[in-house]
Structure 1
């Protein structure tokens, strides 16, 4: 069975890759690669799926993703342009013992966590500038920019951990996962049954439930819930729709159910979420 393990192309004159990806090359299926990934969204918005994390991404967001951590960035609408700058490098990019040097032990610690983080505030601005410069840098300056980025991330607490200690069940990714995710993105605002998604995966319902939880580390309905709440957050922060309208336009037919699930995921009510977003923008 074909696996979804992406091969990162590294040019002969470079020790790691750093380039711009634009629609259609920006769009990726559910995949993984052994390289660590530092990715800056330079245009577009949609949903980031990283390990067991589901959340909105937008222009200016920057993530650092551990090697072999499955992920996908999906646009909400096919007419939106997706654009990003991404650096990809292997753990031994500068040799097997380089990061064991005591002067950079913080970087060694960073690279030994099977996590993904989203950079925030000052760290976000500093690493963004370094990554933009890195894209066209050459020679020693290119290596220096990567090391500066790693040093800043490894010594800062200005980030949100989006997934922690996530591991795939094996070295391969079953392509059925991508079919399920693709179907879910097309239908998450509609009623979806386990029978429907099990048929997509060509499995019985019990087998599908075990398969999905083994690969995504959550139940299918929890995954669907994450997609719907993520959509509600987008409506709350980018439109003037009432909170009630945001509820019903996010696939819910019960206000009580919506607010309960929203608070479970975001730890605050939908109204407070919108209020905090507005206050941060002032």
Structure 2
């Protein structure tokens, strides 16, 4: 799979970038960049695809995404207004020797992991105001806040690991993958056949199946399953709808099938998942 390579320019008189992106500039294609990304959601909600992981995002969520890890944030409704605060920085933005200092060991270890993580609990509460400070700071203060934030993340275990050691060999744009993901996000609540999605990609079914599995690290139907379960989780935690109704609204026609796939993804039943958020 070939991925859009996004070029990120540092802020003027800074070695890294810290910016707010709003609709329509918030919406991105499936892309990657060598810069590490620390991103918090300021407004809106939707579905994120980070490496091979599908999850929902909402206001105040904070993600840390390794350099060259492909990702895509897609809002739930076309008319929704979204905005995010994003910090982009490279591993050597401080100079080649800075991370070799003994005091930087924690940050060096954090950056060596090819992970995508979702910050949780006290860690998220610490990083959210720090990012707001970082956005308005200038000069040395801005750099020190970034170092402090990375040190805080590196010494904590209060995060959810989304993807680990995801390797994407692509270096350019392939329109097929954008079509596949875009079509899937729009139609995952409907019955989707391999014939249908292979036609979208302009491939034969065997070619499409190999293409998708090789690059997303899962089958296409596992990908659709993850989109549907993510949608069900959003309904379970944001509404009081009966679980059976949520089953049908998440693209399933069989309670047994929904229950089985929910357990496969979340390692608990839908009722247990809802109960932990009550």
Aligned to 1:16: 16
Matches of 1:124 and 1:156 in 2, distance apart? 10
Q: Is 2:271 aligned against 1:271?
A: yes
Q: Is the 8 A contact 2:42 2:85 kept in 1?
A: yes
Unaligned runs of 5+ in 1: none
TM-aligned CA distance change 1:122 to 1:3, over 3 Å: closer
* Structure-2-length-normalised TM-score: 0.97
Root-mean-square deviation (CA, aligned residues, Å) is 1.3
Determine if the alignment matches structure 1 residue 104 to structure 2 residue 83: no
Residues 83-132 of structure 1 deviation map (CA, whole Å, 9 limit, x = unaligned): 11000001101011211111110111110111011111111111111111
Q: Is the deviation greater in 171-180 or in 76-85?
A: 171-180
Q: Are 1:214 and 2:247 an aligned pair?
A: no
Q: Which residue of 2 aligns with 1:113?
A: 113
Per-residue deviation at 1:213? 1.2
- Output aligned runs, 1:159-198, within 5 Å: 159-198=159-198
Q: Which residue of 2 aligns with 1:254?
A: 254
Query: Aligned pair count?
Result: 278
Query: 1:41 aligned to 2:41?
Result: yes
State how far apart, in whole Å, the 2-side matches of 1:2 and 1:159 are: 29
Tell me how far 1:209 sits from its aligned partner: 0.7
Q: Displacement of 1:175 after TM fit?
A: 2.8
Unmatched tracts of structure 2, length 5 or more? none
Deviation at 1:174?
Answer: 2.6
Q: TM-score, normalised by structure 1?
A: 0.96
| 2:74 counterpart residue number | 74
SS in 1 for 2:276: helix
The aligned counterpart of 2:142 is 142
